[in-house]
Structure 1
Amino acid sequence: MSAEPTAIVLFTRDLRVHDNPALELACRSARRVVPLFVVHEGLGFATPNRRRFLHESLADLRENLRGRGGELIVRYGDPVVELLRLAGEVHAETIVLARDVSRYAQRRADRIARAAGRQRIRVRTVDSVTVAPPAALTPSGGGDHFRVFTPYWRAWSGHARRTVPAAPDRIEVPAGLRCGRLPPAGSPRAQLPTGGETAARRRMRSWLSGRLADYADRHDDLPGDATSRLSADLHFGTLSPLELTLAAERVGGDGAAAYVRQLCWRDFHAQVTYAFPDITRADYRPRGRDWRDDPDALDAWRSGWTGLPIVDAGMRQLAAEGFLHNRARLLVASFLTKQLGLHWAAGARHFFDQLVDGDIANNAGNWQWVAGTGNDTRPNRRFNLLRQAHRFDPDGAYVRRYVPELAGVAGASVHTPWRLDRPPAGYPAPLLDLDGDQGGQRR
């Protein structure tokens, strides 16, 4: 190996070549660059739905790097051990990686810094998984993070954005390195979008030039499916959240403004998780609530077999697509925590197992928001599920799409099949009586 400066870029949740500050910094500061991804079995990437998306994203990243003369090196095992082993092999002087917010990511970064320090290797970290760095914005009155969204939104909107680097033209990788096999795609349980930056950028262009304009008016339209469906791309980093935000702002209009606000919610949950990494297992704001233990009800909810059509449709969409419309996420989460009284963590675990976009900060943050243990300023908020169903699926098209047992029920009656003179055969009676009280009574 020559003595030319060599840097390793550790890819984690930034599987792209466009607007990748870690890759740009490595290419700018070293003659030779080693792009590395370490497959750490047992992490969230290993669930069946995300495994397929990861495989395709890494395959696309490898091709994009090869098109620039580079290569994606893949190793298996503990990321710190494999990273430092490779650093010794190529005589790397620098390691570059993106900061992240989960407890695992923070500990990984600390371990890398300590291990690299013992070998006199410089570690440089960049921000790229969010629009604003998680620790960059703090309340003027004190505290290490914002606990309420609206003041965070104001601060986030005025925060100076970093420069977006161009994709590198050329990447020189040391000769003789074993590239390593990609992780297997496995057998996903759902119909999934194609993973990878190439497909993600195609989806982004289509979204920006098409349905974004109507987002403000239609984002809660359940049968219309008028959301971006870019959440998995943002989670895996096949799209840059900053590039997407800037592009939406350039389009302008009410739809873009509403969409950018949702991207800010993503950053909001990230900064909460960075400050409170126990968010996946502990109440952010303990309320002293007693949760019920009802395994049968939990199984019925997971299976989309509660007898409440709007909830069952949502849970079946989740199982079929590895994705769930945001309005449906709110409704099924409310039903589990507020109507059934089951612990939010049980729902969060199921979502994390099913969602291709299973993001630690967003998943746990949103579940705690609905449950009243998180950042909602109205912890006793309770959705009237029947009213929500009629409002956001007025003709029942969303329910009939995912609950075939109700395909023959006409119009909005599909939301209350138990009221029909002849309820559809093969569909269960509702777990709760929602006719008299939006809170519901267990049958």
Structure 2
Amino acid sequence: MKHHKVIVWFRNDLRLHDHAALFYACENAEEVVPVYCFDPRHFAPTFLGLPKTGSFRAKFLWESVNALKRSLIQIKSNLILLVGHPEIEIPKLGKSINAKSIYFSQEVTDEEIKVEKALEEKAWSEGIGTESYWQHTLYHLDDLPFPVNQTPEVFTQFRKVCEKMSEIRPTLPFPKIPVFQEKKLANTDLPCKSQFGIEEENLSSKAVLAFKGGELEGQKRLNHYFWTTNALKSYKETRNGLLGENYSSKFSPWLALGCLSPRFVYQEVVRYEKERHKNQSTYWLIFELIWRDYFRFICKKHGNKVFQIQGIKNQLGDWERNEAVFENWKNGLTGVPFVDANMRELNQTGFMSNRGRQIVASFLVNDLNIDWTWGAQYFECKLIDYDVCSNWGNWMYVGGVGNDPRENRYFNILRQGKNYDKEGEYVRTWVPELQKIKGFEIHNPHELDKQALKQNGISKLENQYPSPLVSFKRWL
């Protein structure tokens, strides 16, 4: 028997395709009321004084919500937009429109789970049922070849067992959404970002891509990367690039907000392999999707340990909490050109390459000895593709308290520069003070003064660019 009316609560699943909660709501209800709730807690400052959601990330979110609303309107539905705590506002809405149930996607980390539980309790007290669905991963939770609390602590073990013993479910059909009847509801306009304390920032003209939120934009990017440019064919060879829109897929912002389903991406890779090429690059993109899965299952297994400084290894390091040093790292003023270039790209665009993230994180943790959770919080604020599980899982990994099977993993910054920015083009792009310094020596602060004097007639480069915060002896 169908319910007369069901609410679908959109969270980090801002799409219509392959959407379990929406699909089953449409199967089980005569009327479906889509809802998104802007939670002020997502924009509040952390203990470091940083907003949880910075301006570039907020802009992408607003665009994604607005795009979802437009897509729903095109099929004679709409999106109710609320502001407040979802566990209060959504049951209140449900009671006012006599909804019989609330459908939503399951999350795995503490803040989100607390909201889910509080929402269910409030809804049940009002006589409203709830249904939740697992849908953020490539491999479904119920299809893992082990209980989630036995998820291997090493990624390679997890991947090999899943590839051998689990299957990836096909995407769900596009739902037949009933015509929207709640036209009397007025709260269908997006709130102003300023009411959450969000200020607009101008995107740098040097950005690798002008990321725009929304399901259709995500599908457009996939089509461009796979089918128009054929860039997937060489993904494995180019994925550690630093400049240009196609050195990597850059699907992560749309995956993070659920504008793209990972199973849809997988489905397109399989189609590409049949129609174009099947090689290490096509597999490697799937490999990266499995990494996303892994961190989500690790978060579900370990709970709040992933946010604690001792991590899942329960190792308390001798971390420093030097705010001045952290400020220099944040602002790209460490005196280490490769690090500074990456941090400035992040600050001016909301994005940074995967290689860059590893480099700046390693530098903060291993060279500056700063509390790794500070770096994780900064990325949470700045990255448009922030995903709670991937972000904190990766930072634990770099901090030596996560799932890295190697002890004391360390990045030699000079070697990284030589391997990935041999001619210094990336550094010159983002550190204009070093614009005239040519070649690999741009990465070596010991050489910068000599190069500046020789090429520019500048006697002291540190007048323009800071001296390094650390000794380079470890790298030479």
**Which TM-score bucket, shorter chain as reference?**
over 0.9
Cα deviation for residue 357 of structure 1 reads 1.2
1:343-354 equivalent positions in 2, closer than 5 A? 343-354=371-382
3-state SS, counterpart of residue 318 of structure 2: coil
Look up the match of 2:9: 10
1:10-89 equivalent positions in 2, closer than 5 A? 10-43=9-42, 46-89=53-96
Q: Distance in 1 between matches of 2:185 and 2:412?
A: 59
Cα deviation for residue 324 of structure 1 reads 0.8
Q: Which moved more, 1:377-386 or 1:248-257?
A: 248-257
2:129 maps to 1:122: yes
RMSD: 2.0
Q: Distance in 2 between matches of 1:137 and 1:344?
A: 31
**1:418–1:429 CA contact under 8 A, matched in 2:** no
**2:101–2:129 CA contact under 8 A, matched in 1:** yes
Q: Distance in 2 between matches of 1:170 and 1:137?
A: 31
Look up the match of 1:260: 286
3-state SS, counterpart of residue 130 of structure 2: strand
CA pair 46-312 structure 1, distance change in 2 beyond 3 A:
closer
CA pair 214-375 structure 1, distance change in 2 beyond 3 A:
same
Task: From 184, 191, 211, give the equivalent of 2:192.
Answer: 184
2:153 maps to 1:154: no
Q: Distance in 2 between matches of 1:114 and 1:418?
A: 62
Aligned residues: 435
Q: Which runs of 5+ in 2 are unaligned?
A: 44-51, 204-209, 274-278, 453-460
Cα deviation for residue 215 of structure 1 reads 0.8
Look up the match of 1:223: 243
Task: From 424, 437, 441, give the equivalent of 2:474.
Answer: 437
| Cα shift readout 1:205-250 (whole Å, capped 9, x = no counterpart) | 1122232111111111223551111111111111111111221233
Q: Which moved more, 1:323-332 or 1:296-305?
A: 296-305
Q: Distance in 2 between matches of 1:161 and 1:262?
A: 15
1:44-443 equivalent positions in 2, closer than 5 A? 46-134=53-141, 136-137=143-144, 139=146, 143-157=149-163, 158-175=165-182, 176-185=184-193, 186-189=198-201, 191=203, 192-209=210-227, 210-223=230-243, 226-252=247-273, 253-278=279-304, 279-282=306-309, 283-420=311-448, 421-423=450-452, 424=461, 425-434=463-472, 436-438=473-475
Cα deviation for residue 394 of structure 1 reads 1.2
CA pair 134-355 structure 1, distance change in 2 beyond 3 A:
farther
| Cα shift readout 1:263-308 (whole Å, capped 9, x = no counterpart) | 1111111111112232123422122321123222111111101111
TM-score normalised according to structure 1 size: 0.93
Cα deviation for residue 90 of structure 1 reads 1.8
3-state SS, counterpart of residue 356 of structure 2: helix
- Paired residue type of 1:8: I
Q: Which moved more, 1:191-200 or 1:165-174?
A: 165-174
CA pair 18-243 structure 1, distance change in 2 beyond 3 A:
same
**2:226–2:232 CA contact under 8 A, matched in 1:** yes
Cα deviation for residue 104 of structure 1 reads 1.5
Q: Which moved more, 1:59-68 or 1:47-56?
A: 47-56
**2:437–2:451 CA contact under 8 A, matched in 1:** no
**1:135–1:144 CA contact under 8 A, matched in 2:** no
Q: Distance in 2 between matches of 1:135 and 1:332?
A: 36
TM-score normalised according to structure 2 size: 0.87
Q: Distance in 2 between matches of 1:92 and 1:312?
A: 52
CA pair 277-190 structure 1, distance change in 2 beyond 3 A:
farther
Cα deviation for residue 79 of structure 1 reads 0.4
Q: Distance in 2 between matches of 1:170 and 1:432?
A: 59
**1:9–1:97 CA contact under 8 A, matched in 2:** yes
- Paired residue type of 2:301: A
3-state SS, counterpart of residue 38 of structure 1: strand
Cα deviation for residue 113 of structure 1 reads 2.5
Q: Which runs of 5+ in 1 are unaligned?
A: none
